[in-house]
Amino acid sequence: MTAMRLEQAQALLGFVRGAGQEHILRYWEKLPENSRQQLLHQIAAVDFALLARLHHDYILRKNLPALTSLEPAEMITLAQQQAHPEEVRSMKARGEQELRAGKVAALLVAGGQATRLGFEKPKGAYPIGPVSQKTLFQLHAEKLRALARRYQTRIPWYIMTSDTNAGETRDFFEKNNLFGYSSQDLCFFEQEMIPALDENGKLILDAPDHIFTNPNGHGGTLTALEKSGALADMRRRGIEEIFYFQVDNVLLNMCDPLFLGYHVAAQAEMSAKVCAKRDPYEKVGVIGKVFDARTGKAGRLQVIEYSDMSAADKEARLPDGTLKYNAGSIAIHLFKVSFIEREVAGGTKLPWHVAHKQIPYLDANGQLVQPDKPNGYKFETFVFDALSDAERVVLLEVDRRFDFSPIKNAAGEDSPETALRDLNEFYARWLEQAGITIPRDAAGKVKVRCEISPLFALDAEELAPKVTPALRVQNDFYLEP
C-alpha cells in the first residue's frame, strides 16, 4: 500500500463529506497513520455515484425489473440429442477440434464467501474425493490436466478470487505445487468489492478503519477479466472461447467438447447448460424468454430467479407432463472472448441485484455487533444476466447425474453429503459399464466408496480398456495412475 499524498487524502475526505458519508470518519482523529491510509485506500475505491444510484433505484424505489411476459426458452433437449446421434458425434468432434487448436481457456469463479456451507477456508479447499479426500481445486486441476494431455494442448486456467480469499487461495495452490498445473498456464485475478448500505443508504463501518464490503457477485467476472488484463492475455494466446464454471460442482464435465461444439457451430456468443428441475419447487433459476425491461426488446433470454417466479409458472406443465419452465440454470457457460470485450466496453451492462442481509456493524460504543435480523443491503451482479445481451445463445440440456451436483449447504440438498453420494454413484456407473460388479444394497445404493482419478480416466470410454471385468470391488476403491 503506497502512502497517499496529503492533498489527495484531503480531496477524498472532502468527497466523503460531500456524499453525506462523513460518519465513516467517526474514528479518524484516533486512528494511527497506517489505519488512516487503509481507510483512505478503501475510500478511493468507492464509486459514490454508483452507490447513490443503487440506493435510489433499488432501495428507495425498489426498481426491480418487471416480468411482463414469460415463455419457455428453446433448447437442444436430451431427447433431440438422443434422436440425432450423428449430429452429437459431429458436434463433439467440432468441440474437440477447438480444444486441440488451443482456442479454449478455463475460467473458474471462486470469489464467493461460502456462507451457506460455513467453511472457514476457500470453498475450493473442501475435501470431496470419496476415497482420496482430494479437494475441489485438485479435482478441477486434474480434469484440466487430463484434458490437455488428451488433446495435446494447453488450457490456460484463469481463477477469480476476491479480497475475502485471494491470499488464502494462492497460498493453497502454492502449498500443493499448483496441483501439477504449469505456472505459465495459471492466472489468478481478483474481482472488485462493493460496499453495502444500511437502511438509510449509509456506508457501514465494521472496524474503525474499515468499511464493510462484499464481492460484487459472479457478474463481476466480466469487468474483472478486463481490468486485470486476463482478457488481453487470452487474446495474446489466441483464445477464442472461455469455459466458465463454479468451484462447487463436483460432477463438472470440464470444457465439455459436445457443449463447445454446439456453441461454436452456432457461432453463439454465450451459451449455457441447463438441466430439468428436480421438482417445481427446486430453488434453482430457470432460463426463459422475457420482455427485457432494460433493452425494451422482447424475447431475450434471462434467468428468472426462483423467488421471482409465480407459483402458477413454477407448476405449469406441457401436455407431455414435463414442467413448462424446466430449463434449470446450472451456471456452466461458454463465452466468446469477443463477446466479453463488447459486454465490458464502457463498464458493466449487467443489472444489479439487491439483497436485504444481516451485516456486522460498529455500534455507538465502537463494539462490533452481529445483528440477528437484516439491517442493510448488499449489491451484486450475476453473470447469467449477460445472456440477454448475447446475439446468439445455445442452451444445451444435460442430465444432472453426469453434469451437476453442487456443494452449497452444510446439510440437506446440495451439500457435501449429496455431492459425495452423486460422485460415488457417477464412478460406480463407469465401473459397471466396464463390466465390473459393484455391490449395491436393496435400494440400489452403492455400498462401497469408489473413485477414479481424472488422470486415470476422464470418462467411461477411457476407463473400459484400462480395467478388467474380473476386478473385484469389495472395499473402498480408488483408481489413479
| Residues near ligand UTP (CB under 6 A) | 109-117, 123, 160, 162, 191, 215-218, 220, 246-248, 408
Residue 480: count of CB within 10 angstroms of its CB: 13
Q: What does the alpha-carbon distance between residue 127 and residue 328 come to, in Å, rounded to a whole number?
A: 27
SS3 4: coil
Q: What does the alpha-carbon distance between residue 279 and residue 297 come to, in Å, rounded to a whole number?
A: 31
CB of 374 to ligand UTP, least distance (A): 15
Q: Which is nearer to ligand UTP, 107 or 234 (CB)?
A: 107
CB of 111 to ligand UTP, least distance (A): 3
Q: Which is nearer to ligand UTP, 13 or 252 (CB)?
A: 252
Q: Which is nearer to ligand UTP, 195 or 217 (CB)?
A: 217
Q: Which is nearer to ligand UTP, 324 or 408 (CB)?
A: 408
Q: How would you class 313 by CB atoms within 10 Å of its CB: exposed for 0-12, middle for 13-18, buried for 19 or more? A: middle
Please say whether the beta carbons of 110 and 169 come within 8 A. yes
Please say whether the beta carbons of 328 and 285 come within 8 A. yes
Q: Which is nearer to ligand UTP, 287 or 436 (CB)?
A: 287
CB of 358 to ligand UTP, least distance (A): 13
Distances (CA, A) of 176 to 134, 138, 141, 148, 437: 11, 9, 11, 20, 35
Angle between helices 230-237 and 220-227 (to 10 degrees): 70
Closest residue to ligand UTP, judged by C-beta, is 112
Q: Which is nearer to ligand UTP, 209 or 248 (CB)?
A: 248
Distances (CA, A) of 397 to 274, 386, 461: 5, 19, 21
Q: What one-character-per-residue DSSP string does 119-133 give?
A: -SS-GGG-B--TTT-
Residue tagged 451457506 (cell numbers)? 116
Q: Which is nearer to ligand UTP, 382 or 426 (CB)?
A: 382
**Alpha helix positions (H), 194-336:** 220-227, 230-237, 257-265, 311-315
Please say whether the beta carbons of 276 and 326 come within 8 A. yes
Residue tagged 479435482 (cell numbers)? 139
Phi, psi angles (nearest 5°) of residue 382: -115, 135
CB of 66 to ligand UTP, least distance (A): 24
Q: Which is nearer to ligand UTP, 112 or 261 (CB)?
A: 112
Q: Which is nearer to ligand UTP, 160 or 438 (CB)?
A: 160
Nearest to 289 by CA among 319, 314, 325: 325
CB of 154 to ligand UTP, least distance (A): 23
CB of 470 to ligand UTP, least distance (A): 41
Residue 40: count of CB within 10 angstroms of its CB: 20
Q: Which is nearer to ligand UTP, 37 or 113 (CB)?
A: 113
Question: Which residues fall within 8 angstroms of residue 480, CB to CB, at 6 or more apart?
Answer: 132, 452, 453, 455, 456
CB of 379 to ligand UTP, least distance (A): 10
- In this structure, what C-alpha cell is assigned to residue 236? 495474446
CB of 112 to ligand UTP, least distance (A): 2
Q: What is the 8-class DSSP label of residue 374? A: -
**Alpha helix positions (H), 101-163:** 136-150
CB of 370 to ligand UTP, least distance (A): 16
CB of 432 to ligand UTP, least distance (A): 31
CB of 39 to ligand UTP, least distance (A): 23
Q: Which is nearer to ligand UTP, 191 or 253 (CB)?
A: 191
